[in-house]
Amino acid sequence: MFVRTPKTESMFDDKVMEDMEVEPSSKRHSSECLVRKTSNIYRRAFSETQLLDITPKVLKDGYSYNYITAGDVDALSFLKIILRQQNLDYCLLSTWVMAGDDVLQIEEWLHSGKIKKLDAYVGEVYPTSYKYEYKKLVEVIKKYNGRVCTFKNHSKIFAGIGKKFAFGIQTSANINTNPRTENGCITIGKDIYEFYKNYFDGIISYNYE
């Protein structure tokens, strides 16, 4: 649980807030929760180009960067922010579905070495409703020794690690561009990376291949 208090306030609508940690309940739940003390930065973007431009050039450990977006922005846009600052030794992505052009973008990043290894977690509808895209995704990910996991999934997550920092990304958008308003959050820290990595490592995939 977080209690949010203002830390500083910048020009325009951008705000930096500080989260004060509150002792979590001892009651056990089937879901998992990571409680962390962090600083929050808020931004608005209406295109992928603007999203990249309004993000600080150096992402700081312990900070969360919160966005509200509209227009030419999808989940992969947030990963591009990370890749502008560092290459990744490992990355995982989770999405319900993804477009063919985005699969080709991931292939390009893997081929160029921007991402050394990537695991993909997709929803159960993806292999049957997006047959070409799923087949291509499996081909690309397996070529670079990654894992494609299909299960009852509707989460939109990235988590990864490079030489500069580890991170976790949550978005409301799938990996396909749409004109709807979406939200996203980039958090820099090894704890959130390990939180997601440990969870997705334990997922057992449906056997579609």
When pLDDT is cut at 50, 70 and 90, the band that residue 72 belongs to is: confident
- Residue 77 pLDDT greater than 70, yes or no: yes
Residue 151 forms part of a structural domain: yes
Q: What is the pLDDT of residue 2?
A: 35
Residue 122 forms part of a structural domain: yes
Residue 29 forms part of a structural domain: no
Mean pLDDT of 145-155: 95
Residue 49 forms part of a structural domain: yes
Its domain, for residue 144, covers: 2-23+34-201
In the chain, how many domains are there?
A: 1
Share of residues in the chain with pLDDT > 70 (%):
76
Instruction: Return the CATH number at 109.
Output: 3.30.870.10
Residue 208 forms part of a structural domain: no
pTM value is 0.80
State the average pLDDT for the chain.
83
Residue 207 forms part of a structural domain: no
Question: What count of other Cβ atoms lies within 10 Å of the Cβ of residue 59?
Answer: 21
